[in-house]
Structure 1
Amino acid sequence: MNRIAVFADVQNIYYTCRQAYQKQFNYRFFWDSLSDSGTIVQACAYAIDRNDPGQIKFQNALRHIGFEVKLKPWIQRSDGSAKGDWDVGITIDVLDAAKHADTIVLLSGDGDFDLLMEKVRTDYQRHTIVRGVPALTADSLIRSCDQFNAIERAHLI
């Protein structure tokens, strides 16, 4: 049986789906379709904790689906910018999962992950899948994986 590990860059998917389609990604549909191709052995969703009731409800829905939700505090800097980046955490978890999973699925369009997906594909010889909004997914990330699955309107709510 194909052992699947999935990693969801929640902020990236939220903003790219909103920008491209003005809708939200359907994580339940995603989970169900992914389950059809194997056993999900690990699923992590990475988000920012703003202590907002709407976000808490969403995070609980992700947990109910089967995701482990990992949170970082949202930090507002004095210059008005914000910080809340999960790139290093996602990278560490993906590299750990590559030791035991057959397929690594990254839900993100962030080009910072291109080297990670290339390494998992070549050094660990794992099947790599990236799912992202086509117009807002870095070309380098698309090229780095075995398979790119576009987020389209049918995948939204």
Structure 2
Amino acid sequence: MHFYPTERVALFIDGANLYATAKSLGFDIDYKRLLGLFRQKGQLVRALYYTALAEEQEYSSIRPLIDWLDYNGFSMVTKPTKEFTDATGRRKIKGNMDIELAVDAMRLSDNLDHIVIFSGDGDFRSLVAALQQKGKRVSVVSTLQTQPPMVADELRRQADQFVDLADLEEQVGRSQSGGPAGRSPRQYTARPPLSPARDSNYLGDDDLAEEEV
């Protein structure tokens, strides 16, 4: 990764997409280490984490992660999921945070030099282009190391810098069977309750990223 020490940096984390990407690579994200890594790279202004929450799962396994992130340097952006029935009568759950992430990135960009987007969703290509037109550098964090790749080709080409999450495993990862001694795996790596890997009826950002590549 290439960062200038004087750059004002912000992280925009698509929670469901990052979870799916790390899971496909066989490790969990240690969010304390992730924050520490980017604090070393530049002047970290903000780290925002986006996730949808099912109202009936308000106190589910995602709550410890949200609470920990909220008290440890991350800004949480959440909204309730929406449930509907499709034409075949199947129950579907939708929890897309693309609009919230894009609006925040544009709104905060005047006070930033470098925007880092943790998502492979091709829908963000237009956002990246708009930020670049404002003179901002944009990095995208996802992976090419899966079949199919988790990052849309048009997003990877548009970004000023593509960072493969697989290359960051030693710096921000924790194996799914455990982790470094002295830390509670549950404290930093609680997983979102909704993603295609866990709910085949979930229509979120993970599905979009996979469909576009």
Q: TM-score, normalised by structure 1?
A: 0.91
2:170 counterpart of 1:156: no
Per the alignment, in what secondary structure is the counterpart of residue 7 of structure 1?
strand
Per the alignment, in what secondary structure is the counterpart of residue 41 of structure 2?
coil
Name the counterpart of 1:23.
27
Matches within 5 A, 1:109-148: 109-121=120-132, 123-134=133-144, 135-148=149-162
1:52 offset after TM fit, Å?
Answer: 4.0
Say which is worse superposed, 20-29 or 67-76, in terms of deviation. Answer: 20-29
Runs of 5+ in structure 2 lacking a partner?
A: 1-5, 175-213
1:11 offset after TM fit, Å?
Answer: 0.6
Deviations 1:83-106, CA, capped at 9 Å, x for gaps: 111111111111112111011010
Segments of 4+ moved more than 3 angstroms: none
Name the counterpart of 1:44.
48
Cα distance in 1, alignment partners of residues 19 and 161 from structure 2: 21
Q: TM-score, normalised by structure 2?
A: 0.68
Say which is worse superposed, 4-13 or 70-79, in terms of deviation. Answer: 70-79
Cα distance in 2, alignment partners of residues 49 and 29 from structure 1: 25
1:49 offset after TM fit, Å?
Answer: 1.3
Residue 69 of structure 1, aligned match among 76, 98, 101: 76
- The structure with the larger Rg is 2
Percent identity for Structure 1 against Structure 2: 25
Number of residue pairs matched by the alignment: 155
Runs of 5+ in structure 1 lacking a partner?
A: none
Q: Residue 80 and residue 23 in structure 1: after superposition, are their counterparts in 2 closer, same or farther (change >3 A)? A: farther
Per the alignment, in what secondary structure is the counterpart of residue 19 of structure 2?
helix
